[in-house]
Amino acid sequence: MNKKDSNHPIIGICVSEKKSDLDRLIKRRIKHFHERAIFIKFYIEDLDFHNLRVKGSYMESENKKWKEGEFPFPDVIYLQSHVDLNIVKRIEEVIGRNVFNTFTLDKFLEAKLLAEHTVLQPHLPRTQKLENEVQLQEFLAPHKNIFLKPIYGKVSIGVVRVVSKDTGNIEVFYRQNQNIKREAFHSFKDFWYWFSPNLSQKKYLMQQGIQTMTIKERATDIRLNMNKNGKGLWEVSVLLFRIACNTSHLIPGPLAVIPIRSLTRYYFKNEEIDKMEKSIQTLGFTICEALDRSGHHMADLGLDLGLDQNGHLWIFEVNTLPHPILRVNDCSLTRPLEYAYYLASNTDHKTQPSPN
């Protein structure tokens, strides 16, 4: 296929072999997208900067099947997997700022980047890299309730909530398969003996634990997916309350996911819900704008937030390359394609390069 064969924009979707489950998701995104565009799915190593071509698979419009081939360099590249910033910069030299989702960092660097923005600081639990036993003990002492998180973790795997009791006992909560497991130790030393082997396999951060609002004694958090839309502007794609199956924190499995409006079921008044919704969305936009200001070209964010007992909002995690929540009407399914289409049809945003 040559560019002159078609007037439709070529949208490249960069995937990785590590995420084989993306295939079905991308098909689903394309199926629900209604503009005419040419979609090419490719691996980053198959971009040919010399001849400005790409090897990949093209979605045939008649039978919605992928067909392998070699194609012109895409007009827009939608990153669905991590790509090194140096490669992003090479892409920008060819197509300008038409490559997005350029920033994926580990949880610790992400927390550091967010903390550079004064407006976000009141919403960030205190966070530090976990380096040794003494430092962990010193961090736990004032907070009494902390989270230990692997910096490359997801779906709560490896996350351990540590609670220091007045008796000197230490209580921990962590995910084991689809359940939360509780364990108790008589002393910090016993706890450290149990936990420290994890550090030889993974790097961890420690974070101040927040007691989120409970519903029927269960912990809650908030998922807010934000996307740039077909006009190039940030928009809320979905806002959900998640109710854990336990008192500690969210793990996948038996958890209730409800639209914020359904909180009326749990005796919240409409005015309270209006206020909550507004403040959650405002924080969402503030996070997106902060990332825009840092110069990274993002368009697809999954925010894990929490509302504490005093109604204060906290940021637990900013997920880059989030998965849409398919069981509800989550606009983040198609918005990345709408944004890609917008970028392909506009030229005024192309100049500013990504930061180093």
Ligand X SMILES: Nc1ncnc2c1ncn2[C@@H]1O[C@H](COP(=O)(O)OP(=O)(O)O)[C@@H](O)[C@H]1O
Question: Would you tell me which residues interact with ligand X (CB under 6 A)?
Answer: 125, 147, 149, 153-156, 159, 207-210, 212, 221, 249-250, 304, 306, 316-317
Smallest separation (angstroms) from ligand X to the CB of 353? 30
CA 36 to chain centre: 28
Kindly tell me which of 92 and 110 has the beta carbon lying closer to ligand X.
110
Amino acid at 351: T
Kindly tell me which of 306 and 336 has the beta carbon lying closer to Mg ion.
306
Smallest separation (angstroms) from ligand X to the CB of 124? 9
> Number of C-alpha atoms within 13 angstroms, CB side, residue 130?
27
Binding partner selected for residue 155 from ligand X, Mg ion, none, CB under the kind-specific 5 to 8 Å limit: ligand X
Smallest separation (angstroms) from ligand X to the CB of 123? 11
Full 3-state SS string of the chain: CCHHHCCCCEEEEEECCCCCCHHHHHHHHHHCCCCCCEEEEEEHHHEECCCCEEEEEEECCCCCCEEEEEEECCCEEEECCCCCHHHHHHHHHHHCCCEECCCCCCHHHHHHHHHCCHHHHHHCCCEEECCCHHHHHHHHHHHCEEEEEECCCCCCCCCEEEEECCCCCEEEEEEECCEEEEEEECCHHHHHHHHHHHHHCCCEEEEECCCECCECCECEEEEEEEEECCCCCEEEEEEEEEECCCCCCCCCCCCEEEEHHHHHHHCCCHHHHHHHHHHHHHHHHHHHHHHHHCCCCCCEEEEEEEEECCCCEEEEEEEECCCCCCCCCCHHHCHHHHHHHHHHHCCCCCCCCCCC
Contact flag: residue 106 with Mg ion (CB under 5 A): no
Kindly tell me which of 183 and 317 has the beta carbon lying closer to Mg ion.
317
58 contacts 3 by C-beta, under 8 angstroms: no
Q: Which two tokens stand for residue 217?
A: 């004694």
Smallest separation (angstroms) from ligand X to the CB of 305? 9
- Find, among 252, 257, 261, 300, the residue nearest to 280 by Cα: 261
Kindly tell me which of 30 and 250 has the beta carbon lying closer to Mg ion.
250
Smallest separation (angstroms) from ligand X to the CB of 167? 22
Binding partner selected for residue 209 from ligand X, Mg ion, none, CB under the kind-specific 5 to 8 Å limit: ligand X
Kindly tell me which of 146 and 291 has the beta carbon lying closer to ligand X.
146
Binding partner selected for residue 249 from Mg ion, ligand X, none, CB under the kind-specific 5 to 8 Å limit: ligand X
Smallest separation (angstroms) from ligand X to the CB of 56? 29
Smallest separation (angstroms) from ligand X to the CB of 150? 8
For residues 289 to 318, the per-residue mask of contacts with Mg ion, x marking binding by CB under 5 A and - elsewhere, is ---------------x------------x-
Smallest separation (angstroms) from Mg ion to the CB of 152? 12
Kindly tell me which of 18 and 34 has the beta carbon lying closer to ligand X.
18
Kindly tell me which of 133 and 317 has the beta carbon lying closer to Mg ion.
317
Size of the site for Mg ion (CB under 5 A): 2
CA 200 to chain centre: 26
Kindly tell me which of 206 and 337 has the beta carbon lying closer to ligand X.
206
Residues making contact with Mg ion (CB under 5 A)? 304, 317
